[in-house]
Structure 1
Amino acid sequence: MGTRSGQRRRRRFRHRRSVRLPHCHRGRARLRRFTSVEAAIDAAAHRVLDRLPANGISAAAIEFLVFGLKQGWACLFGGAMLGLILVTRFLWPDHAALARYDFLFLAALAIQLAMLLFRLETTAEAKVILVFHIVGTVMEVFKTSAGSWIYPEESFFRVGGVPLFSGFMYAAVGSYLARIGRIFDMRYSNYPPLWTTVVLCAAIYGNFFAHHFIVDLRYGLFAATVLLYWRTVVHYRVFRFRHRMPLLVGFLLVALFIWFAENVGTWSRAWLYPDQADGWTPVSIAKLGSWFLLMIISFVLVSLVHRPRPLEAEEQDGSTVCRSA
């Protein structure tokens, strides 16, 4: 009898373990997409916000609040750079020993090192930023030589007429896309084959150079982008719930945000378009199309580091929040 009783207890223990551990494993998998700092913030937020109603206006207000906070967190690097551009526009001395552009370059490096040191971003995200800095600087060198825009101030850290801080402005877009995909646990349905997006990315990047010599193919590239991503939907988790949005709408919204940021950058004279040389005017809305296409390049490059995950894989990789009984 004692032996059979012990066997029953062992079977019940194995059954409980087989039920509970996978559930908690899913919770741990959800937290693994966060850095250690983000995991601590997430836990603190749950301790406070989980006490509030999960339905009605309170739930909607919580989702809206967390959405805004997460967006701000994803923009951490870009927001810091834009803030420094604005501050130096007003406070940087005209005859300082260190040029304003050089300060912005050194500050960008310091921000990156601090974000890695304090676990505010992952190593993979830092690699994305490096790739974007190189890709952006190459395009900047060509575009400034073609007269598309200028950098009106002097600097030591530069390549040709391009101060090296400018590459970090492209890197800020890459940083945002890499971080937001992780922070919002983005999943995709009807995502196109990866190789087709790489071909589109290469064609767009090539057109940024080639249109100075041959016909501009951007309208054909717009059409190709719409055809490729027309059915793609991004599913993202804010706090308690998953939401969904057509990916093309997401591209457009981010491009619009970058266009606003570019207006801030040109107003602060960090760089200037030819029609702004005699006095600042808003950046042409036509530039929104350029930023939309740049978004495709940015998104595809990030997707090579963080592969797009299908919505169906959510249960398999354990994204469900672990709750103690």
Structure 2
Amino acid sequence: MKLIRQFIYFVYQQSISCIFPIAIFITLAISKVIDPPLIHRYDFILIICVLIQIMMVVSGLESKEELKVISIFHVIGLGLELYKVHMGSWAYPEPAWAKVFGVPLYSGFMYASVASYLCQSWSRLKLRLHGWPSAVWTALIGCGIYLNFFTHHYLYDMRWILTALLIVVFYRTYVEFSVKEVTYRMPLVLSFVLIGFLIWIAENIATFLGAWQYPYQRLAWSFVDFGKISSWFLLVIISFIIVAQLKHVKESLRRGEPEGLMAGETKNGLNA
């Protein structure tokens, strides 16, 4: 019974952490079935996303510091969307007023919702990182992953080399999280894979609801290419590095310490 209670509590905390992405999915589903009056669907989704973000901050679910990192994700994601749509990787076929070079502005919020989930779950589950690698390595890997999303259209796709490098750099890193009074641990790379897989499932739901469209889905919806999990796995790495850096700066300022350690890092590890 104790294990069941722990699992229910874990699912509850994860669900609360997913408020932002869940709200986006609900908006996608409702607007798919019912046409918003007097406004394009993509513009309606944008308005809801803005209202959700305001609600998250006003209610205290997200701090101003977390809003900053979520805004960074919005910009990073929007930049990636502009490039990928231009290259024909996917498309947003529906009309919208708030659309730039074929990309509706609500798309950035889908990336921001991933950052929101990481920030929420980090605090709610009291995450601690052990064996976090040098900041130089994490910065280089994060930049390399992001650049590869752009350069693989012209140069060799480095995703598998980057994945191998990630395993080498993070193989000693594991994450501890607390479910009530019990602490669990998991290899960090495994947690990246699991989150990437769950985002791939969410991506299938999103494309089914018409959030965007891959070329092979133009005539009829089909499952997203399973290989996309690797892309989400790498994107989660970037997300996690940026959120961890936010925690680092916040904790350093709180303690009045130099920013040489990661957020909450002591001899025993890194906590929330």
| Fold conserved between structures, TM > 0.5 | yes
Which of 11, 16, 41 does residue 68 from structure 1 map onto? 11
1:194 deviates by 1.8
Count of residues paired in the alignment: 258
Checking the alignment, whether the CA contact within 8 Å between 2:130 and 2:268 is kept in structure 1 is: no
Give the structure-1-normalised TM-score: 0.76
> Residue in 2 aligned with 1:132?
73
Give the secondary-structure state (helix, strand or coil) at the position aligned to 2:129.
Answer: strand
Instruction: Tell me the alpha carbon deviations over residues 222-246 of structure 1, each in whole angstroms, 9 at most, x when there is no partner.
Output: 1011111111110011111111011
State the match for 2:195 in structure 1.
254
Q: 1: CA distance between counterparts of 2:125 and 2:266?
A: 13
Q: TM-score, normalised by structure 2?
A: 0.91
Structure index of larger Rg: 1
1:157 aligns with 2:98: yes
Kept after mapping to 2: 8 A contact 1:235/1:311: no
SS of structure 1 residue aligned to 2:184: strand
Q: Distance in 2 between matches of 1:120 and 1:177?
A: 13
SS at match of 1:279: coil
1:309 to 2:264 alignment: yes
User: What is the letter of the counterpart of residue 201 of structure 1?
Assistant: G
Compute the displacement of 1:189 (Å): 1.3
Deviations 1:249-273 (A, max 9, x none): 1101110110011001110111000
Structure 2 gap ranges (5+):
249-262
What amino acid is aligned across from residue 60 of structure 1 in structure 2? L
Matches of 2:131 and 2:241, distance apart in 1? 16
Q: Which has the higher helix share?
A: 1
CA contact 1:74–1:176 (8 Å) conserved in 2:
yes
Alignment counterpart, residue 30 of structure 2, candidates 87, 94, 106: 87
Counterpart-to-counterpart distance in 1, 2:125 and 2:70: 19
Q: Does 1:205 align with 2:125?
A: no
Query: Match of 1:269?
Result: 210
Secondary structure of the residue that 1:153 maps to in structure 2? coil
Note the C-alpha offset of 1:211. Answer: 0.5
1:98 to 28, 39, 44: 39
Aligned counterparts of 2:72 and 2:100: Cα–Cα separation in 1? 17
SS of residue matched to 2:226: coil
Counterpart secondary structure, 1:199: helix
User: 1:180–1:310: structure 2 CA closer, same or farther, 3 Å change rule?
Assistant: same
Task: Give the whole-Å Cα distance in 2 for the aligned partners of 1:133 and 1:239.
Answer: 32
The structural deviation recorded for 1:310 is 3.8
Gaps of 5+ in 1: 1-56, 320-325
Counterpart among 162, 166, 169 of residue 221 in structure 1 = 162
Aligned residue in 2 for 1:294: 235
Q: Deviations over 1:86-113 (max 9, x none)?
A: 11111125xx421110011111110111
SS in 2 for 1:105: helix
Contact 2:128 2:176 in 1 (8 A): yes
Distance in structure 1 (CA, Å) of the matches to 2:115 and 2:127: 16
Q: CA deviation at 1:305?
A: 0.6
CA contact (8 A) 1:186 1:309 kept: no
TM-aligned CA deviation for residue 312 of structure 1: 4.8
